[in-house]
Chains A and B, each alone.
Chain A
Amino acid sequence: MPALAPTSGGSSGVVISGAAAQRRPRTAYLLLIPGLAWLAIFFVVPLISLFFTSLQAPTGKSGVYQPAFEVSNYLVAIQEYWPTFVKSFIYSGTATVLALIIAYPLAYFIAFRAGKWRALLLVLVVAPFFASFLLRTYAWRTILADEGFITSFLNALHLLPQGRILNTPIAVVLGLTYNFLPFMILPLYAALERIDPRLVEAAGDLYASPFTGFRKVIWPLSLPGVVAGTLLTFIPASGDYINATLLGAPSDRMVGNAIQTNFLQFRDYPIASALSFILMAIILAVVFVYIRRAGTEDLV
């Protein structure tokens, strides 16, 4: 290798070559400002606003609140909704695990065994993005209908505790798993695709069985994809309320439902905001711990 001059690198492994590194940062700021300002005004400010709303107190008039410091709102929210929180995370957690189990073989197939079909298969994985997800979720009502083929079949085998799939937590979890499957497949594929297939051959040459080869070589190397995929599934799933509404019973409502109802129906903005923040706090905590354990930094 020739003597490559050490280039002045930025963070996150980005190499900025010689002359460009001396470009004035002024241009960079000009490029950043429109988008970042947009995000600051329409993402950060609303969140701050939401936080203050969560501390507001009632004024007696319905839907009207006054600025205050009612930390008790949080206590009320937790007291009333903690079962919903638990339920939500059980559903989203289960859906995430299921999605991982289902997605991994497909991602593996496309990365290692698909050959010339790879591009086409990837298009097929992304295709569901072009079909209305509301309609797709609604379609499960047809597929899992009480009189439908699948439900009747499973009922005949006495596998259904409540005699049906729709309007039970099972349907909700199935819906969540289905909806976010592409979000799990794509990062997994991206990570697997980077693995040199000859590593598995090398493992085999060193007396590893195919399963051990997977366990010791492929799985660890695919972890960044696993982390990205599980996060991209778990986070939106935890806040979802579409699946719960369309596929579940009233007793299966998730935190998303609670936030939505409090916001748009009860107009209890402080409680709704408190719920939102509690949800965000839990998610961020989970993300933080998870990333620490898995050891991956660069997510963006």
Chain B
Amino acid sequence: MRWLRKNLIPIIGILVLIYLFVPIAVVAILSFNKPEGKFNVAWNQFSLEAWQNICGVPGVCGSFVTSMQIGLIATLVGTIFGTMIAFALVRYRFRGRSTTNLLIFLPMATPEVVLGSSLLALFLNLAFPLGFWTVTIAHIMFIISFVVVTVKARLQGMDPRLEEAARDLYAGPRATFRYVTFPLVLPGILGAALLGFALSFDDYIISAFNAGTLVTFPIYIWGAAQRGIPVQVNALATLVFVIALITVVSVQVVGSRRRRKLESTVSS
């Protein structure tokens, strides 16, 4: 009983984590399912069919590729623009700082329905054709805000003395940026880019409003939800998840293992 009380927090913590992962597990498990009817909601029998024939259903892989393409372009542009703004905010003085902050903050405070529908209204009014580029434009828009917040935090956490030391050691402004500032900020930028890509790849609402006839992966899933989601979708989603998870975990593990090995050989 006492053990329970002392470990209450860890137990609840683990339970919450399990709660977070149960649906993901269900998605993964159902990717090995051969559903009875069209709807893959209940376990029927084990089958590797979806994995072996992952592009078997028309449109699945096409939409997947489309989402990848949009994700890469939007992440690239959004990260560059967002990083530039973060640098301006942290390293320079200029008038209009509060307006800038407001402009960055508002998209994050606006519900996706409003973001998506207002953009649609703009494109309709301009008679701009809906499709790949309208979706990409929309994604760049919301990625910028997230990148600014992430990179800004990273920049502010950086010791300003390091840049002073670089200048003291004969590094001009460009050299200081290249050899000191940029390498130290890079992890933050990469993290922001990863977040941006995840947000873009998984975006439904804003994309749905602005895609026209284009089918992204989430749009495909939504459309299929009425008719029955093909098992291949589960397989693809599980694949993406596993690859992403392994990448992030291994970066962490490699980093900390290297750190620990070197620390243990430090003499005092």
Chain A residues packing against B (C-beta within 8 Å): 8, 10-12, 14-17, 19-21, 23, 25, 27-29, 31-32, 34-36, 38-40, 42-47, 49-50, 53, 102-103, 105-106, 108-110, 112-113, 119-121, 123-143, 145, 147, 178, 181-182, 231-232, 235-236, 238-242, 246, 255-256, 259-260, 263-264, 269, 272-273, 276, 279-280, 283-284, 287, 299-300
Contact = CB atoms under 8 A, between A and B. Distances in A.
A139 B103 CA distance: 36
A35 B144 contact: yes
Contact of B164 (A17, A123, A132, A136): A17
B42 A241 contact: no
A166 B207 CA distance: 27
B113 A276 contact: yes
A132 B237 contact: yes
Nearest to B199: A129
Given A27-B92, A50-B114, A263-B209, A42 B100 contact: no
A256 B221 contact: no
B16 A130 contact: no
A132 B202 contact: yes
A235 B111 contact: yes
Interface string B97-124: 1101101111111111111011111100
B12 A279 contact: no
A129 B20 contact: no
Contacts of B80: 34
B201 to A, nearest CB: 8
Interface string B197-236: 0110010110001000000011001100100010001100
B237 A36 contact: no
Closest 3 CB pairs of A and B: A239-B111, A109-B13, A35-B81
B215 to A, nearest CB: 13
Contact of B160 (A11, A15, A44, A120): A15
Nearest to A182: B20
Contacts of A127: 20-21, 24, 241, 244-245, 248
A259 B41 contact: no
Nearest to B67: A132
A134 B92 contact: no
B186 interface: no
Contact of B114 (A8, A12, A264, A279): A279
Interface residues of B, number: 94
A242 B209 CA distance: 13
Nearest to B33: A142
Scoring A127, A147, A260, A273 by chain B CB atoms within 10 A of each residue's CB, the highest score goes to: A127
Contacts of B244: 127, 130
B248 A16 contact: no
Given A31-B87, A32-B84, A32-B85, A135 B27 contact: yes
B107 A39 contact: yes
Nearest to A14: B90
Given A43-B115, A125-B17, A256-B205, 10 more contacts: A23-B92, A29-B94, A35-B85, A42-B137, A50-B117, A106-B16, A127-B244, A127-B248, A136-B27, A259-B113
7 contacts: A14-B90, A43-B118, A130-B240, A132-B221, A132-B240, A139-B30, A273-B117
A104 to B, nearest CB: 9
A71 B250 CA distance: 57
A4 to B, nearest CB: 11
Given A32-B88, A236-B112, A133 B225 contact: no
A279 B117 contact: no
A127 B22 CA distance: 12
Contact of A35 (B93, B148, B198): B148
Nearest to A35: B81
Scoring B19, B218, B248 by chain A CB atoms within 10 A of each residue's CB, the highest score goes to: B248
B38 interface: no
Nearest to A39: B103
A240 B114 CA distance: 10
B19 A102 contact: yes
A263 B120 contact: yes
Contacts of B97: 10-12
A14 B156 contact: yes
B89 interface: yes
Scoring A32, A40, A128, A283 by chain B CB atoms within 10 A of each residue's CB, the highest score goes to: A32
B92 A120 contact: no
B80 to A, nearest CB: 8
A103 B16 contact: yes
A36 B96 CA distance: 12
A142 B20 contact: no
Scoring A129, A238, A260 by chain B CB atoms within 10 A of each residue's CB, the highest score goes to: A129
B82 interface: yes
B113 A239 contact: yes
B256 interface: yes
Contacts of B118: 43, 46-47, 49-50, 273, 276
Given A14-B90, A279-B111, A300-B149, A145 B156 contact: no
A36 B198 contact: no
